[in-house]
Structure 1
Amino acid sequence: MSFTSDTILVALELSNTLWLVGTRLPGIRKSHIYRIDAGDTDALLKLLGELQSRNQKTSKTGASIACCFEAGRDGFWIHRLLTDHNIPTHVVEPTSILVNRRAKRAKTDRLDVEGLLRVLAAYLAGDTQICSMVRVPTPDEEDGKRVHREREYLVQERTRIENRILALLATQGIRSRPSLRTWERDIAVLETGDGRKLPRHLTAELNRLRRRFCLVRELITELDAERDELLATTPPSDIVAPKVAALAGIYGVGSNFAAVLAREVFYRQFGNRKQLASYVGLTPIPHQSGSVDKDRRIGRAGNARVRKTMVQAAWLWLRYQPDSELSAWFRQRVGALKGRARRIAIVAMARKLLIALWRFTETGEIPAGAILRTA
């Protein structure tokens, strides 16, 4: 059955060197594939204009264009460019597309772009379960995430450098690194486990790693100062900044955790708590077949950065908010159990804590039994 919509369908398959543009005109089942250089937006806009002109000549009626591409390395600038030219554009979540479940499937860019055309046609026809569309953030919302994301990368780099220093020292039988404040003095008298001086090239490498380590620490401090300054001088148009300040006012929720939660999650609108937990990937996967009806592990299909932050925040909540209802629930559920049972319970608590903090930012409802810093 041919597609009868009056919309010109366009799908983009993006790569570093070449863009494939799949098109399907109204009433025509066969699709056409065009190749343009990656990043050549003038050629893309010219092609879309020619498609509209060609369709108008054959059908004598104007047709709108709907475009889609998969979220990936190119970000959202293409979406903003096409939207500015009045071309409705959808960003598809790649892992949400329903595919053939056979173990072996052919994979080419041409097949991918034709598959995107089918997905777009079904989505516009009303089948919203065929895939998930990404909510494209505004440029300000996207830029607001840069500080805490860069900080996360620098913290990982700091850990990697420190582990490298410790690993190099361990190869010489040394179990702890010298102090950064007295590095030069300590490294000069440091001896290996068998009583030798540190080799010359190893000492030079350690000195370079120490300089890199100190530089990363300075950059983290600089980012922390920038984050606090932005929060203190935020413009009235930034509706997320008050949520960051409110979260940071809860004892046990630090400034960085507050920024991650507000900038990554709470800037969006959620209809209910299930949507919120599903977005973060903290909801269990239901498994029902015949007489079997149970929940499996969490989906992990959401924002991994926030999911990790929430698990860390849940452990800290137990330490800094021991009298809250959430902490009491955890102690009652876990008791003296250790190991896997405790790790499973902390994930459930992270989901409850996420919902409680969301309600706090939306309605001002303080989590039961929680203590605020201002108190």
Structure 2
Amino acid sequence: MSSENAIHIAIELSVSSWLVAVKTISGATKSRLHRLEGGDASGLLKLIAELQTRASTQPGDVAEVSCCFEAGRDGFWLYRLLTAHGIAAYVLEPTSILVNRRARRAKTDRLDAEGMLRVLAAWLNGDRQICSMVRVPTPDEEDAKRTHREREHLVQERLRIENRIEALLFTQGIRGRPSLRSWERDVAALRTGVLRELPPFLRAELDRLRRRLLLALELIRELETERAKTLDAAAMDDRVTQKIVSLKQIRGIGENFAAVLVREVFYRRFDNRRQLASYVGITPMPYQSGSMDRDRSISRAGNPRARTAMIQLAWLWLRYQPASGLASWFRERVGTLKGRTRRIAIVAMARKLLIALWRYVETGSIPDGLAFGTGTTAE
């Protein structure tokens, strides 16, 4: 940073307290520590204002402040608050920070805060390999992700309840789950492995699980209806909405897959396909040492939600797009092999499919052999 009286600030966030480490460029060798109550944003702004006043050498001169903290449970509200007050804020990706691997290292809030100060100083001096900074989404972009993420949690809740019902019945020697449409009749007809009726407390627990399952299903339907209405009401000149509509026209891609891919990945700008695949975390990691040069398994860094969706979509692509170029590539590569080889190949296909869909929504380039929902194949 060009200003000689610039201030670097690192905040170690926790639920109960915030530890603020401060260091000025003008010759200070040690950082100063300030402890604030957790969530005390006004106290933080007051502290920054006091630091700027002390660092100012001339009347009217305002010291430049750069502030950083790690991405975590606090989200991005603090970043938006600081930037709204003219403070340069940076959100660090915690797992990207290099640490000493020689032995077991000490872990304290003070050491973490001082380590972030060193990372911030190196980043501002031009070292972009020292760590990764999080690209903070706008409030609208962040809010647009809420629908499919809530649906994901509701689907997980539905699966947990269904598995719990089956597990309870399994302990009584009963395979299968009663139908929700004829629950009372089916439960009354159930008999345990020793031909006895279900115990009363077990029946009561199963009934409560049934009500929870019905509520989860109702909430999922309500969420999907609300999402469809929102998409229909959205302006078609909105580029993000156009991308969702374009993906929905492809056979095998439903509304949920389209929403996840666009809201999690395609709303961002990527310069090349390597950046895209790295963001999703489905790029193989190179291993080169001496005469050995090979690719290891995928990095699994990046967006896990998008990565899971792409793996699932790759399996569905083989079913709904059998005449496509990617499906043909997979069959030629794998043939009749099963097991681990097939799973490795589907990840490679998911990477190719992600790049093909990205080019499709960005430039209109239609993948080879693509079939749309109407049953016609694109030329």
TM-score range, shorter chain: over 0.9
Secondary structure at the counterpart of residue 215 of structure 2? helix
Residue 139 of structure 2 aligns with which residue?
A: 139
2:145 and 2:292 mapped to 1: Cα distance?
42
The 8 Å contact of residues 266 and 358 in structure 2, kept in 1 or not, is answered as yes
TM-score of the aligned structures, taking structure 2 as reference length? 0.96
Structure 1 residue 367: Cα displacement: 1.0
Most deviating of 217-226 and 74-83: 217-226
Structure 1 residue 228: Cα displacement: 0.9
Secondary structure at the counterpart of residue 365 of structure 1? coil
Corresponding letter in the other structure for 1:66 = S
Residue 172 of structure 1 aligns with which residue?
A: 172
Please show how residues 182-261 of structure 1 align to structure 2 within 5 Å.
182-235=182-235, 238-261=238-261
Structure 1, residues 281-304: CA drift from partner, whole Å, max 9, x if none?
A: 000000000000000000001111
Structure 1 residue 62: Cα displacement: 3.2
1:108 and 1:236 mapped to 2: Cα distance?
51
Please show how residues 243-322 of structure 1 align to structure 2 within 5 Å.
243-322=243-322
Corresponding letter in the other structure for 2:282 = L
Structure 1 residue 58: Cα displacement: 8.2
2:294 and 2:5 mapped to 1: Cα distance?
45
In structure 2, runs of 5+ residues without a counterpart are none
2:116 paired with 1:116: yes
Structure 1 residue 6: Cα displacement: 4.0
Residue 10 of structure 2 aligns with which residue?
A: 11
Secondary structure at the counterpart of residue 240 of structure 1? helix
1:228 and 1:363 mapped to 2: Cα distance?
25
**Do the aligned partners of residues 271 and 29 (structure 1) sit closer, same or farther apart at CA in structure 2, a change above 3 Å counting?**
same
Structure 1 residue 26: Cα displacement: 2.1
The 8 Å contact of residues 10 and 116 in structure 2, kept in 1 or not, is answered as yes
Secondary structure at the counterpart of residue 142 of structure 1? helix
The 8 Å contact of residues 5 and 56 in structure 2, kept in 1 or not, is answered as no
Residue 372 of structure 2 aligns with which residue?
A: 372
Secondary structure at the counterpart of residue 90 of structure 1? strand
The 8 Å contact of residues 3 and 63 in structure 2, kept in 1 or not, is answered as no
Structure 1 residue 102: Cα displacement: 2.1
Please show how residues 83-94 of structure 1 align to structure 2 within 5 Å.
83-94=83-94
Structure 1 residue 318: Cα displacement: 0.5
Figure out how many residues of one structure are paired with residues of the other and give that number: 373
Please show how residues 4-43 of structure 1 align to structure 2 within 5 Å.
5-27=4-26, 28-43=28-43
Secondary structure at the counterpart of residue 294 of structure 1? strand
2:339 and 2:189 mapped to 1: Cα distance?
43
**Do the aligned partners of residues 5 and 283 (structure 1) sit closer, same or farther apart at CA in structure 2, a change above 3 Å counting?**
farther
Structure 1, residues 190-227: CA drift from partner, whole Å, max 9, x if none?
A: 21110111101000000000010111011111111111
In structure 1, runs of 5+ residues without a counterpart are none
Structure 1, residues 214-258: CA drift from partner, whole Å, max 9, x if none?
A: 110111111111111111001467431111111111111111000
Secondary structure at the counterpart of residue 354 of structure 2? helix
Residue 125 of structure 1 aligns with which residue?
A: 125
2:236 and 2:32 mapped to 1: Cα distance?
48
1:237 and 1:65 mapped to 2: Cα distance?
39
Structure 1, residues 340-374: CA drift from partner, whole Å, max 9, x if none?
A: 00000000000000000000010011111101124
2:61 and 2:222 mapped to 1: Cα distance?
58
Residue 356 of structure 1 aligns with which residue?
A: 356
Structure 1 residue 39: Cα displacement: 1.1
Most deviating of 59-68 and 28-37: 59-68
1:369 and 1:126 mapped to 2: Cα distance?
45
Corresponding letter in the other structure for 1:127 = D
TM-score of the aligned structures, taking structure 1 as reference length? 0.97
